[in-house]
Structure 1
């Protein structure tokens, strides 16, 4: 009689253990499946809907390629010359500097007068951003991120329109 009770408890223990392991496996599969497939597609679709509905640059999560592809597709109707910048870079020792020409891209002609009036404030904002960079940041891989930083810092200053791109010319680091 005692032997029979042990068999029943052994079988029920195996069933409970098997069920528990099965639930853990299903949960782990669902978690990894969501993170790999669904989570990324929802981020991408929200970023696309923000960009398409507003028609302006929006802060996209800081993934390396997200900003790059957007800025390369935008061609501005008008540009505003901020002239040359020569700034010290944030590298140790303070011996490295950057010389760069910056042009702001926009589509609304009314913005030209405002950019002219606010040129000193805009130049100051660009200098603040460029001085935080190191020589290693000044390469094609990271230039679009710098452009997005500039756009995101300047757009809140503007009332008559928004920037949609930044163009660099004559980049020199030493």
Structure 2
């Protein structure tokens, strides 16, 4: 009888230890999931808002518009006085099947006329940056509600390459997803 009580006691302890281990693994997984996915999105959104405010400020400085434009934090409100045409590109998308692709035609928007010469010189690097960003997207990511974040990502990638001015918008004139 004493052996049965010891076996019951030891099996209860095993169940409790296994339960604690499972809770610990779930807790660690939740922490890493939060820090990798959700926390990164918060930082990205903050950085994107900063770029929108910066581009709106540049627009006001370059065009002499009133200060109400600075308050707009929406990329749709930024209108560029100059554009630079990129070549049409076809990109494999990051979908699991690997068979989806997108054909994209884009224009880069800016206000400083001297930037045209620099963009012409750096066109291969700029096009490569756009391709690099779009290749990380899935077909489900390229929808109207996500276009501003994709545009901001492109602006943030290209602006550090430029010395004579900064981009303030990206205009997509043709997007075909197959």
Instruction: Give the shorter-chain TM-score range.
Output: 0.5 to 0.7
Task: Tell me the distance in 2 between the aligned counterparts of 1:168 and 1:147.
Answer: 9
Residue 147 of structure 1 pairs with residue 176 of structure 2: no
The CA deviation string for residues 114-161 of structure 1, in whole angstroms up to 9 with x for no partner, is: 000000000111110000000000100101100000000000000000
* 1:51 Cα deviation after fit: 3.6
Residue 55 of structure 1 pairs with residue 58 of structure 2: yes
Residue 136 of structure 1 pairs with residue 148 of structure 2: no
Determine the structure 1 residue equivalent to 2:162: 158
Task: Tell me the distance in 2 between the aligned counterparts of 1:126 and 1:48.
Answer: 17
Unaligned runs of 5+ in 1: 1-42, 57-67
Task: Tell me the distance in 1 between the aligned counterparts of 2:159 and 2:103.
Answer: 23
* 1:169 Cα deviation after fit: 1.1
TM (normalized to structure 2)? 0.61
Task: Tell me the distance in 2 between the aligned counterparts of 1:119 and 1:52.
Answer: 21
Determine the structure 2 residue equivalent to 1:38: none
Residue 93 of structure 1 pairs with residue 81 of structure 2: no
> How many residue pairs are counted as aligned between the two chains?
119
Contact (CA 8 Å) 2:55, 2:168: kept in 1 or not? no
SS at 2:88 equivalent: strand
SS at 1:160 equivalent: coil
Q: How does 1:72-111 map to 2 (within 5 A)?
A: 72-111=76-115
The structure-2 alpha-carbon separation of the partners of 1:94 and 1:71, relative to structure 1 and needing over 3 Å to count, comes to same
Task: Tell me the distance in 1 between the aligned counterparts of 2:136 and 2:165.
Answer: 27
Unaligned runs of 5+ in 2: 1-45, 60-71
Structure 1 residue runs of 4+, over 6 Å off? none
* 1:83 Cα deviation after fit: 1.7
Residue 124 of structure 1 pairs with residue 128 of structure 2: yes
* 1:70 Cα deviation after fit: 2.2
* 1:54 Cα deviation after fit: 4.3
The structure-2 alpha-carbon separation of the partners of 1:90 and 1:161, relative to structure 1 and needing over 3 Å to count, comes to same
